[in-house]
A = this chain, B = another copy of it.
Amino acid sequence: MMLETSTSFPLNAWYAAGWASEFQRTLLARRICGKDLVFYRTEAGLPVALDDACWHRLLPLSKGRLDGDDVVCGYHGIAFNPQGRCTFMPSQQTINPSACVRTYPVVERHKFVWIWMGDAALAREDMIPDMHWNDDPAWTSATGNTIHAQCDYRLVVDNLMDLTHETFVHGSSLGHKAVAESPFSVTHGPRFVTVTRWMHDIHPPPHWAMQYEYRFGKVDHVDRWQIIRFEAPSTVVIDVGVAKTGTGAEQGNRSIGVNGHVLNTMTPETETTCHYFWAFARNYALEDEQMTERLRQDVIRVFGEDEVILAAQQKAVLNNARTPFYNLNIDAGAMWARRLIDRMVDNERAPRRALAG
Chain A residues within CB distance 8 Å of chain B? 36, 52-53, 55-60, 63, 72-78, 89-92, 96, 99, 158, 162, 164-165, 167-169, 180-184, 308-309, 312-313, 315-317, 319-320, 322, 325-330
Residues of B within 8 A of A76 (CB): 162, 164-165, 168, 180, 328, 330
Min CB gap A340→B, angstroms: 19
Task: List 22 interface pairs A-B (beta carbons < 8 Å), by A numbering.
Answer: A52-B316, A56-B328, A57-B325, A58-B316, A58-B317, A58-B320, A59-B312, A72-B168, A75-B309, A76-B162, A76-B165, A76-B168, A76-B180, A76-B328, A77-B164, A77-B168, A77-B180, A89-B328, A90-B168, A90-B180, A91-B184, A99-B326
Inter-chain contact A168/B74, CB cutoff 8 Å: yes
The 8 Å CB contact of A59, one of B91, B181, B309, is B309
Inter-chain contact A90/B53, CB cutoff 8 Å: no
Residues of B within 8 A of A182 (CB): 91
The 8 Å CB contact of A56, one of B77, B167, B319, B325, is B325
> What is the chain B residue whose CB lies nearest that of A330?
B91
Min CB gap A221→B, angstroms: 22
Inter-chain contact A164/B91, CB cutoff 8 Å: yes
CA distance A72 to B320 in the complex (A): 20
Inter-chain contact B329/A92, CB cutoff 8 Å: yes
Residues of B within 8 A of A315 (CB): 60
Residues of B within 8 A of A327 (CB): 56
Min CB gap A42→B, angstroms: 22
CA distance A329 to B91 in the complex (A): 7
